[in-house]
Structure 1
């Protein structure tokens, strides 16, 4: 890959242009990091390999000891301690290089980035939680103690992760069916899985539904069942990796259109499509890194015009959007048959695991008959299926109260951040709220400072997002209280001023 291609691939920016200073400073920092790593790689050829990599590992340990500045804050918060940004265990991937029996790994851009940047940011991730992730969660600190913090990072949109949610029924299910499924569904099915598929079919108001063990594999293994090498798949550029893999596994020709830019989608559709046996457009209902909805009414109009099959990934929108919690189609109040494949997962709104594809029976039968994953892999745990069934039962009698509470919490949080002057992506009703701070060098401090203030949030940077698009991703839940949201807003106001990450006019 040439330098120009690398730049275009890794250093693109998103729909909103970040401040010029943030662009230039971020590019300069990462450019300096890459140059330093390339120099180290060159030195590797001049000195014994063992000596060189041992020096890298030792330097990482020394440079990982950082002091984060103290400054005046409210509420008598404890000072930030001396802190390793890379612990001993996390350096193992670099220290193994001193052993000659393993091949060297520092031979690509990804490896250079991993050593130069990611190794110093690892403590923003992999934090141990030691309780049920509801509106609050217990987090293991560096000294081994547990700290109870506000949980604004878990996918628990409707609050069903609470341990007091119909626990007795889960225990009864475990006694009846056991914990595991023990056999694949094509050999012998369980009644509870059939009940779940019927329940989900009725909830989505479609003809049929198929349930898979994993949400990721629902996309990756179902898309090859509905597309062939003679098909054309047109996919949004920000679609989840599971969709990307599914398109690759299918062997179909794949075209991408610019995120939320339907003119680029129509440009592909306006070409000669008669040579393809099937044209499938794939998009997500709610994009988890952007917090934005697909413009489904506009996509449906294109579907009526060009006659393609529409596959919508509702992993983050089912349960969380719409008057009945049926997802983005329900949110826009469109007819049920405007989408051919409704895909979703049970990990976000239903506090379980697995995924599903719902739609017309003849289309779902294609997946059921062709899917090696469905027919040969083990089914999900019956307890997980029971959790989903009782969540659907609750939603049926809840009359949209949890969905409305989630919507109110999302609007309160998003509007509060905007009033403070933060750059926030996404739709107003979206439970995913990305707050942009652009420069990833602020990520470590921001994550640690939030945790010190009893707030657990996810920070995201390259390569998960373009390089000048580092962000905090707040995930709202119906279980959050107004007091918890106001507490977060108060502390974000202080942090935003100190780190200079307010890029919009303050709203009064």
Structure 2
């Protein structure tokens, strides 16, 4: 079976070529685009969707394919235009390699839970017993052969084991047992991890090629580059761009403030941008107040100790992120875990801990805090928030929702898991999220009531020890959120309430029904505002494109026969590989196709031992053709590696591609 799909067209994905011709002038460049546009019109076609991965056009002659090349433009890294240049009816403000051009309104969907129906993820399927047996045997072989090699290696190649052997009175630098997994499994597939990249991690990504002369112990760069389709970044809404309204706003911020946190400041050592960003974040998620932090991991690990302490109880989902676990340990509170997303397990645990009280003394708990994630990035599942809210009313606990992956990526308005389920966000006590995924920035936030946020400002560690967010990052947060919300002129009364957020007066979120638009007064006066940002059309298109892509890939993989986890609307799609040896093969086969596809493979200890997987991270930047390409590659590689172990009705690949819109809009996957 051929693993590389042939293409009659020249691909924009390939090794970087050096151009001997000088860079064209702007006038000649635009003239070339105009000529190509005119020739495309002569064929009477105005495409709704631009083909994903080819510079040559199916509607232009071969002589037209070199219109942009004749000026010496390196199309791999400079232009990366779609097959047919956009016509005057299609005005794109993005580079095709960063954000795919797609004007076909059929390839849109709204991410929203159907009211009145219980939430449930697609049922997890177990593979045949021979898959599980061979997976366990493969780990057993690695362990046995690894220990045999260590036994003889210590005696005959002691130089290679210096870091594991006590010498000169010093203990071994590394533990033999602790480093066994890294040395005997991870190193063998290390070429699949930590691949150096350059440029914007948008729809495509540029890999810096490398090879290893010593079985992945060291990596040597070759000096060449490869552009591949990027299905590996948390760029959910496609805001990781070097061109567009957000990039223009960030450029203006750099011109005004520079790249550091120094600049014009208000009283208390706080930039005006910090206050504006916190006011906008609170309004975006529908809370009274917010506090931003320069690091997402630190948001959890430094804020949780300010919420709970000794004598309190934290009830945590067993799959919660490491930052949550670390924060709970720092707090000194007791912790109990319940089975992942199992509401019966959660209620049973609540009954037990409330009736028994604190250990030994059996006194009532000072506080019970339940912590869940909105979207679990390893599983693709959503927190069953409607049921959790019913339990909250019944058992009177506090609820903390980590929306690192769900904020911006779920819901008809992009406001996260509460928006997805149609719940009032203020019925949740604490909403946490990060800016590193959907917003293309850095850092995190915590939102809640004003009294709660005021306490966290005083008692949270991040305010004392963490550095402030820099102006360009803050501007990216503000611009991307404004693109999703849309911008409306604000009255003088609303203006005063926004800026007096820290003085205890009502915020704008109390004056307008959630979800609302971003008042102009919240935004920096110097920030350029594009029309697509002002009317919210930019964010609206991104949300609906992401929803279509995620639902299409999720359902397409299941119809091909793969076992996947999670919700249909999750932008993270885990495809189960099971056998650890298949991780490296799958990753390498995807990366070395004629059109490279960059993916992330994950295994133990990040997942249970036998559930190694590949995680596809979808983006609004991807086009339907990009998802077709991923499905085609998975179909071919899945047959080769015997990965199609799922049950249920199967469709051939061509039928899935042809009936994509119908597949996405099915209420339930048959």
TM-score (ref. length: structure 2)? 0.65
Alpha carbons 2:165, 2:171 under 8 Å: kept = no
Q: In the alignment, what sits opposite 1:263?
A: 344
Q: In the alignment, what sits opposite 1:353?
A: 442
Mapped pair 1:477 → 2:619: yes
Could you list the runs of 4 or more consecutive aligned residues of structure 1 that deviate by over 6 angstroms after TM superposition? 183-186
170, 174, 198: which one pairs with 2:254? 174
Alpha carbons 1:284, 1:312 under 8 Å: kept = yes
Deviation at 1:361, TM superposition (A): 1.1
Deviation at 1:189, TM superposition (A): 0.9
SS of alignment partner, residue 198 of structure 2:
coil
Alpha carbons 2:381, 2:565 under 8 Å: kept = yes
Indicate the RMSD between aligned Cα atoms, in angstroms.
2.2
Mapped pair 1:114 → 2:182: yes
Q: In the alignment, what sits opposite 1:137?
A: 205
Cα distance in 2 between the residues matched to 1:154 and 1:486: 18
SS of alignment partner, residue 315 of structure 2:
strand
CA distances 1:31-54 after superposition (whole Å, capped 9, x unpaired): 232233344555577x3xxx5343
Alpha carbons 1:417, 1:489 under 8 Å: kept = yes
Deviation at 1:148, TM superposition (A): 1.1
Q: How does 1:88-237 map to 2 (within 5 A)?
A: 100=167, 103-105=171-173, 107=175, 109-142=177-210, 143-166=222-245, 167-181=247-261, 188-237=269-318
For the structure 1 residues 472 and 206, does the alpha-carbon distance in structure 2 shift closer, same or farther, using more than 3 Å as the test? Answer: same
User: Unmatched 5+ residue regions in structure 2?
Assistant: 1-122, 211-221, 358-362, 487-535, 652-670
289, 292, 297: which one pairs with 2:378? 289
For the structure 1 residues 257 and 109, does the alpha-carbon distance in structure 2 shift closer, same or farther, using more than 3 Å as the test? Answer: farther
SS of alignment partner, residue 291 of structure 2:
strand
Q: In the alignment, what sits opposite 1:72?
A: none
For the structure 1 residues 259 and 225, does the alpha-carbon distance in structure 2 shift closer, same or farther, using more than 3 Å as the test? Answer: same
Cα distance in 2 between the residues matched to 1:313 and 1:406: 21
CA distances 1:350-385 after superposition (whole Å, capped 9, x unpaired): 000000001111111221110122223210111100
Deviation at 1:100, TM superposition (A): 4.3
For the structure 1 residues 418 and 15, does the alpha-carbon distance in structure 2 shift closer, same or farther, using more than 3 Å as the test? Answer: closer
549, 554, 560: which one pairs with 1:420? 560
SS of alignment partner, residue 574 of structure 2:
strand
Cα distance in 1 between the residues matched to 2:176 and 2:454: 43
SS of alignment partner, residue 424 of structure 1:
coil
Q: In the alignment, what sits opposite 1:504?
A: 646
Task: Out of 261-270 and 372-381, give the one that drifted further.
Answer: 372-381
- What is the total number of aligned residue pairs between the two structures? 453
448, 451, 471: which one pairs with 1:382? 471
Cα distance in 1 between the residues matched to 2:153 and 2:301: 40
Mapped pair 1:30 → 2:135: no
* Structure with larger Rg: 2
For the structure 1 residues 53 and 436, does the alpha-carbon distance in structure 2 shift closer, same or farther, using more than 3 Å as the test? Answer: farther
Mapped pair 1:325 → 2:414: yes
Deviation at 1:18, TM superposition (A): 3.3
6, 12, 20: which one pairs with 2:129? 20
CA distances 1:359-413 after superposition (whole Å, capped 9, x unpaired): 1111112211101222232101111000000001111122532111100011111
CA distances 1:89-142 after superposition (whole Å, capped 9, x unpaired): xxxxx6755894774256354311111111111110011111201111111122
610, 632, 649: which one pairs with 1:490? 632
User: Unmatched 5+ residue regions in structure 1?
Assistant: 1-13, 58-93
573, 576, 586: which one pairs with 1:436? 576
Cα distance in 2 between the residues matched to 1:503 and 1:343: 37
Task: Out of 100-109 and 294-303, give the one that drifted further.
Answer: 100-109
Cα distance in 2 between the residues matched to 1:371 and 1:117: 40
Q: In the alignment, what sits opposite 1:299?
A: 388
Q: In the alignment, what sits opposite 1:363?
A: 452
SS of alignment partner, residue 343 of structure 1:
strand
SS of alignment partner, residue 227 of structure 2:
strand
CA distances 1:260-291 after superposition (whole Å, capped 9, x unpaired): 11111111211224621110000000000001
